[in-house]
């Protein structure tokens, strides 16, 4: 997605060898116009696939998911990473290792919101090693729901997440695919190879 790639080049900051900071428009301050365009792009790709729910993880997956949900006309559920006073029982839980924080956390959703009749689109802000996405897959499996596909805002294609999830048979659609960081500069996979 050209507009996203341009924004990453303008505002993204490469940290170390494999982390991209995009808190100017996605992870802290949010650009609603860009979020809406991204939501529409997810909806265009996944339209016609019979999606009934979108499932993401708090916090940064929520904004693009809400716009995708708006465009597809389906509800959005976000898995919680933190304990909630009101979300205490009747839960699906999965363990997720966080790439950026180097910690393992439970992610949790209420059993009320995903059932075996659902066909779920998973969305997240980044795809690195695929741990967050696998946690969401695990939750859908516990609920015996089908998974329509995985939508990612920024994929770091030099990390193993896509490969691992493709081996499991998932359709992954990423709005921006990063081939490498070269001397702190983001290099994308060219559009023609980026289907
Ligand atoms: P994974 O679970 O695929 O290893 O990593 C995805 C999760 O880690 C995302 O939910 C995101 O929060 C975080 N993450 C992974 N890589 C990056 C990165 O380069 N920048 C930022 N801001 N978050 C990342």
Contact between 79 and 136 under an 8 Å Cβ cutoff? The reply is yes
Residue 130 Cα, ligand 1 centroid: separation in angstroms?
A: 9
Domain extent for 50:
36-176
DSSP conformational letter for 89: S
Residue 13: inside a domain, yes or no?
A: no
Does residue 129 have its Cβ closer than 6 Å to ligand 1? yes
Residue 146: inside a domain, yes or no?
A: yes
Q: Which of 132, 133, 164, 172 to mutate to test the pocket of ligand 1 (most atoms within 8 A of CB)?
A: 132
Number of domains in the chain: 1
Residue 6: inside a domain, yes or no?
A: no
Token pair belonging to 109:
């959703």
Residue 194 Cα, ligand 1 centroid: separation in angstroms?
A: 20
Residue 100: inside a domain, yes or no?
A: yes
Does residue 99 have its Cβ closer than 6 Å to ligand 1? yes
Q: Which residue has the tokens 């303008």?
A: 10
Please identify, by atom number, the ligand 1 atom nearest to the C-alpha of residue 130. Answer: 3
Establish whether the linkage from the previous residue to 173 is cis, with ω within 30° of 0: no
Residue 59: inside a domain, yes or no?
A: yes
Q: Please provide the DSSP assignment of 72-133 as one string.
A: HT--EEEEBSS--SS--SSEEEEEEEETTTTEEEEEEEETTS--TT-EEEEEEEEESSSHHH
pTM strictly above 0.75:
yes
Does residue 127 have its Cβ closer than 6 Å to ligand 1? yes
The predicted structure's pLDDT at residue 193:
55
The whole-chain average pLDDT of the chain stands at 95
- pLDDT, one tens digit per residue, over 69-92 is 999 999 999 999 987 777 778 999
**Domain of residue 156, CATH code:** 3.40.50.2020
Does residue 36 have its Cβ closer than 6 Å to ligand 1? no
Residue 15: inside a domain, yes or no?
A: no
Token pair belonging to 144:
């015996």
- pLDDT, one tens digit per residue, over 16-67 is 999 999 999 999 999 999 999 999 999 999 999 999 999 999 999 999 999 9
- Mapping DSSP to helix (H, G, I), strand (E, B) and coil, where does residue 109 land? strand
- Residue 12: in which H helix or E strand, if any? none
């Amino acid at each position: 997605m050209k507009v996203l790639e341009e924004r990453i080049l303008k505002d993204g900051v490469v940290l170390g060898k494999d982390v991209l900071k995009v808190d100017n428009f996605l992870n802290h301050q949010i650009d609603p116009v860009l979020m809406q365009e991204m939501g529409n792009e997810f909806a265009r790709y996944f339209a016609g696939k019979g999606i009934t729910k979108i499932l993401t993880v708090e916090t940064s997956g929520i904004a693009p998911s809400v716009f995708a949900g708006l465009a597809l006309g389906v509800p959005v559920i976000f898995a919680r990473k933190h304990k909630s006073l009101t979300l205490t029982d009747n839960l699906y839980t999965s363990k997720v290792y966080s790439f950026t924080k180097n910690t393992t956390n439970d992610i949790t959703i209420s059993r009320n919101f995903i059932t075996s009749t659902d066909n779920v689109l998973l969305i997240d802000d980044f795809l690195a090693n695929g741990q967050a996405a696998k946690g969401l897959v695990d939750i859908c499996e516990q609920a015996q729901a089908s998974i329509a596909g995985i939508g990612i805002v920024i994929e770091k294609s030099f990390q193993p997440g896509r490969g691992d999830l493709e081996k499991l048979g998932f359709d992954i659609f990423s709005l921006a695919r990063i081939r490498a960081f070269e001397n702190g500069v983001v290099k994308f996979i060219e559009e023609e190879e980026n289907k």
